[in-house]
Amino acid sequence: MTPSPDLYDVVQYPAFAFPDTHPSRLATMALLHGLEPAAVQQCRVLEIGCNEAANLIPMAHAIPRSEFVGFDLAADPIARGQARIQALGLTNIRILQVDLLEAEQVPELSGTFDYIIAHGVYAWVPPAVRERLLGFCRDHLAPNGVVFVSYAALPGGHIRMLARQILLLREHQPEEASTGVRESTDFLKFIARCRPEGDGFRVLLEREVENMERRGPEVVFHDELAAAYQPVSFTQFANHAAEHGLRYFTEAEFPAPKDPCFQADTAAAIQQLAGGDPLAQEQMLDFARMRMYRQSLLCPQAAVFTYDLQADALRRLFMTSQAESTEGSSAGSRSYTLPGGLRIETVHPATIAVLDFLIARNPESVSFADVSAVLEQQGLLVPAELLMLIMRLVIARMIDLDAWQAPVTRTVPDRPLASAVCRNDSLGGIHLTTLLHTTLKLDDPIARQLLLLLDGTRDRDALLRDLTSALPEVAPQALAEGIGPALELLSRTGVLEAPRA
Ligand SMILES: C[S@@+](CC[C@H](N)C(=O)[O-])C[C@H]1O[C@@H](n2cnc3c(N)ncnc32)[C@H](O)[C@@H]1O
């Protein structure tokens, strides 16, 4: 009997890079909690359930002295990833078709890893695979290693479970994933509309449908409709990890500025109820958050860490700011707005000096020592005060932290070189993974054509000449005027590479 094909071979799962899984992020969070993670520029990274390695390939390109290994049960995504690795000529990455249940016997997966990533696997596999996932992490984690595990969480997962039960009323055939899922979500909308407008149940279901429509039918097919789907509470997850010799120490991202943990009344009440137990506190906060998804970080049982953030670790980290600086509403004030719309306004001279300095250097990251030197020069703050200020701006999301400096450049070089991964990405679609490990949607045809020419051999004249012959339908004048802003956009978004040493 021929084995039935893996569903991930039949219905392609969209392949993206996830900034929260990047070793630089994992190292940052580890350092802030008092751990001593491996240096990002020379580490060993494993991704379990890596799909076609859209997450690992850009890392391998950007961090050439580190080693990357990935595996997945589905054969087709692995074959696509292997073809891409070959096309890019990367020698520091290997991906394999392996079942996690048999991974222990695979020589390429032996030894230990400094960072292990399991994105979108834990809650979407049968119990035996979930057990092995944590067991494998324990057995292959370096003593100072960090594990990233994302999962569907409770209590928010109850709503997804409810939506799933309704969606599962209909049998879903892989061949009709797209139309079938759409029909099912329409049915879910119909069920929601049976309730009066403003009704709590209706609001919850409609929000769930919105969420599904945003993620697309292929993702819903594999996530909500998978044979195995098991959201877990934070406590269940942390206990499960502990059974496997792993300890939860934090999430991969900071809570949003409006999170209940930053609301003084809620935080104080929960702290008291939890009796000083940080894990119980985290669980209670999840009820207040109605949390439905987590990206938890684990370390070996024996590792020493603190649940509280260690501001001193900022001295070892690098900073960037994605904010836009504009005049504020009152004399002397400045307003800082993030791409997603978060905004602060301040008249505080040190805050203005730090943010304006980082914004001028973005996307290049800056060390604490460099920020500190600028502030001292201006007689604004001593380093100890600066630590607290930066920590507050990190919590406000105005500053991003990194344990590694991405090889990007703020200044457009004479012969610009775009990341080979971005150029390769643009052959297949409009989404590129930048050197910052972010996703850039590049749909402007001139910028896309220009990107393909940025192989580091052409100066501006050569770029204009070759762009003109590639796009004869566009007026040369428009191309000449468009090159500068397009190069500026590509440098600001982390597509252009800094000259490598
Ligand atoms: C929901 S997808 C997530 C893919 C990718 N990590 C992401 O987040 O986009 C789950 C992945 O786990 C893989 N997987 C499921 N069971 C597995 C097993 N037993 N061994 C290895 N990979 C497995 C699937 O093939 C699929 O690629």
CA of 50 to the centre of ligand 1 (A): 6
Q: Does any ligand 1 atom lie closer than 6 A to the CB of residue 13? A: yes
d(CA 494, CA 57): 16
Given the CA of residue 8, which atom of ligand 1 is nearest to it? 25
CA of 20 to the centre of ligand 1 (A): 17
Q: How confident is the model at residue 295 (pLDDT cuts 50, 70, 90)?
A: very high
Q: Collapsing DSSP states into helix, strand and coil, what is residue 72?
A: strand
Query: Residue 19 has which token pair?
Result: 């900034």
Name the residue with the closest Cα to ligand 1, atom 1. 120
Given the CA of residue 219, which atom of ligand 1 is nearest to it? 1
pLDDT at 366 over 90: yes
User: pLDDT tens-digit profile of 399-445?
Assistant: 999 999 999 999 999 999 999 999 999 998 899 999 999 999 999 88
* Residue whose pair of structure tokens reads 């407008």 in the numeric block: 197
Mutate to test the pocket of ligand 1, among 72, 105, 149 (most ligand atoms within 8 A of CB): 72
269 CB-near residues (< 8 Å, 6+ apart): none
d(CA 334, CA 201): 43
pLDDT at 11 over 90: no
* Least confident span in 120-134, 153-167, 284-298: 153-167
Mean per-residue pLDDT, 81-97:
98
Q: Does any ligand 1 atom lie closer than 6 A to the CB of residue 125? A: yes
Stated pTM of the model = 0.95
CB atoms within 10 A of CB 352: 18
CA of 400 to the centre of ligand 1 (A): 29
CA 81 from chain center: how many Å?
A: 19
Answer for the pair 56, 70: CB distance below 8 angstroms, yes or no: yes
Q: Does any ligand 1 atom lie closer than 6 A to the CB of residue 100? A: yes
Predicted local confidence at residue 1, as pLDDT: 42
Burial class (CB in 10 A: 0-12, 13-18, 19+), 433: buried
Query: Residue 101 has which token pair?
Result: 């249940």
pLDDT at 3 over 60: no
Predicted local confidence at residue 307, as pLDDT: 96
Burial class (CB in 10 A: 0-12, 13-18, 19+), 262: middle
Answer for the pair 145, 113: CB distance below 8 angstroms, yes or no: yes
Name the residue with the closest Cα to ligand 1, atom 9. 15
Following DSSP, what letter does each residue of 329-398 receive, concatenated? SSTT-EEEE-TTS-EEEE--HHHHHHHHHHHHHTTS-EEHHHHHHHHHHTT---HHHHHHHHHHHHHTTS
d(CA 358, CA 364): 8
CA of 72 to the centre of ligand 1 (A): 6
Q: Does any ligand 1 atom lie closer than 6 A to the CB of residue 121? A: yes
Given the CA of residue 103, which atom of ligand 1 is nearest to it? 20
How large is the C-alpha radius of gyration of the chain?
A: 24
Burial class (CB in 10 A: 0-12, 13-18, 19+), 197: exposed
Name the residue with the closest Cα to ligand 1, atom 2. 120
Q: How confident is the model at residue 246 (pLDDT cuts 50, 70, 90)?
A: very high
Predicted local confidence at residue 319, as pLDDT: 98
Amino acid 236 reads Q
User: Residue 175, CB half-sphere, CA atoms under 13 Å: how many?
Assistant: 0
CA of 55 to the centre of ligand 1 (A): 13
Mutate to test the pocket of ligand 1, among 6, 125, 225 (most ligand atoms within 8 A of CB): 125
Q: Does any ligand 1 atom lie closer than 6 A to the CB of residue 464? A: no
CA of 119 to the centre of ligand 1 (A): 8
User: pLDDT tens-digit profile of 475-489?
Assistant: 999 999 999 999 999
| Positions of E strands within 169-300 | 246-251, 293-300
3-state secondary structure 122-170: HHHCCHHHHHHHHHHHHHHEEEEEEEEEEEEECCCHHHHHHHHHHHCCC
Name the residue with the closest Cα to ligand 1, atom 3. 120
Q: Does any ligand 1 atom lie closer than 6 A to the CB of residue 101? A: yes
Q: How confident is the model at residue 176 (pLDDT cuts 50, 70, 90)?
A: confident
